[in-house]
Amino acid sequence: MADAQTPFNRPYTVGNELKYVAEALDHGQLSGNGAITRRCAEWLEQWSGSARVLLTHSCTGALEMAGLLAEIGPGDEVVMPSFTFPSTANAFVLRGATPVFVDVCAETLNMDCEQLEAAVGPRTRAIVPVHYSGIACDMETIGAVAAGAGAVVIEDAAQGVMASRFDRALGSIGELGALSFHETKTLSSGEGGALLVNDPELVARAEILLEKGTDRARFFRGEIDKYSWIDIGSSFLMSEVTAAFLYAQLEAADRIVAQRVATWERYHEGFAALESAGLVQRPLVPKGCRHNGQSYWLLLPSAELRDVLIAGLRERGIAALFHYVPLHGTRAGRRWGRPVGDLSRTDELAASMVRLPLWVGLPDAQVDRIVEAVSEQLSPTSVSTGS
């Protein structure tokens, strides 16, 4: 895909990344929790309203911290959609818990909240909504079900930075939330993530887990005269160099998101006629949700037609991709998790969806070319002849 005329993703830099990396070098601290790390955390706290934001080496690390903070353990169950990245499940399987997989909705590819009641039981410790493509889950329903079950809500907002639901930042609605700054995400530092700690009672322990189980953060604030091993933990910190790269992206966040959303909307308008003709289904942005232009996807009538479309676009130099293999059908998912129902809808949706190129700087003319190529590929004549 790398040699495609229109790649699926192209990492975007705003121009100040090396400036802040040089600043980190001048400070003489390259490990985590330096001045630029704190600057990023403060920016994210102001955006999210979270009690504390802790920068991590990845969203995977943030989810693993969330599992520790929620005291997930053997015998516990964690409800999540099957249509997600393995990290969503791994974070809790590592703690000895069982992922309980539920279906997703065709409109958003988010968790089907109508299945939550059936998925929740006496062993349910957490519910993990995944905000697919930066479009928010129904957090009001999820929160109500969690409260009734005595479970915590841990948002997998890997794709949700700068997105919101009823003006609440994604990742800030549950007790805990995790963001990703991977190369493919809306804001990027190559690799990286953040844990949003929304319950103030969890902040002190979160700092300890982040610092390898020590109270090192208190030591550096001058609150104690030495630090020591207090709790379990690991090396979750984002490096200062990575934070420096990220800070340049945060400064330009509004501009980056505006450009991505404009491209998303151009796709959405361009495919309206195909949807009216019943040839595709476009994503739905529910009322009150503000998305971030993370990705644009379509659902096709069948897996066979999806595969033909991807191959046809590839021949035109356009890199289009499918996405997750549903976890309930994988070798690891069958070993460590359990589905609620047969999840045939998730299987069908995963097999019929296609994601299109979307990155900052993708020219409008190329977007129009992609819309035209998809439309030609899916025209009744092309479909009937198999061309």
* Cβ atoms of 171 and 179 closer than 8 Å: yes
Q: At the topology level of CATH, where does 253-385 sit? A: Aspartate Aminotransferase, domain 1 (3.90.1150)
The predicted structure's pLDDT at residue 1: 41
What integer pLDDT is reported at residue 32 of this predicted model? Answer: 84
pLDDT values of the chain reduced to their tens digit, one per residue, 387 residues: 444 689 999 999 999 999 999 999 998 888 888 999 999 999 999 999 999 999 999 999 999 999 999 999 999 999 999 999 999 999 999 999 999 999 999 999 999 999 999 999 999 999 999 999 999 999 999 999 999 999 999 999 999 999 999 999 999 999 999 999 999 999 999 999 999 999 999 999 999 999 999 999 899 888 999 999 999 999 999 999 999 999 999 999 999 999 999 999 999 999 999 999 999 999 999 999 999 999 999 999 999 999 999 999 999 999 999 999 999 999 999 999 999 999 999 999 999 999 999 999 999 999 999 999 999 999 865 554 454
Strands of 124-127's sheet in order across: 52-56, 193-197, 176-180, 152-157, 124-127, 77-81, 98-102, 338-339
Class of domain 17-251: alpha beta
| Residues 6 or more apart whose Cβ sits within 8 Å of residue 150 | none
> Please, where in the chain does CATH 3.90.1150.10 lie?
253-385
Q: What pLDDT score does 382 carry? A: 57
Can you give the pLDDT at residue 28? 85
Q: Where in the chain is the domain with CATH 3.40.640.10?
A: 17-251
Provide the whole-model pTM. Answer: 0.95
Contact 203, 182 (CB under 8 A): no
SS (H, E, C) the chain: CCCCCECCCCCCCCCCHHHHHHHHHHHCCCCCCCHHHHHHHHHHHHHHCCCEEEEECCHHHHHHHHHHHCCCCCCCEEEEECCCCHHHHHHHHCCCCEEEEECECCCCCCECHHHHHHHCCCCEEEECCECHHHCCCCHHHHHHHHHHHCCEEEEEECCCCCCEECCEECCCCCCEEEEECCCCCCCCCCCCEEEEECCHHHHHHHHHHHECCECHHHHHCCCCCCCCECCCCCECECCHHHHHHHHHHHHCHHHHHHHHHHHHHHHHHHCHHHHHCCCCECCCCCCCEECCCCCEEEECCCHHHHHHHHHHHHHCCECCECCCCCHHHCHHHHHHCEECCCCHHHHHHHHHEEEECCCCCCCHHHHHHHHHHHHHHCCHHHHHHCC
- The CA-to-CA distance between both ends of the chain, in Å, stands at 22
Q: Give the chain's length.
A: 387
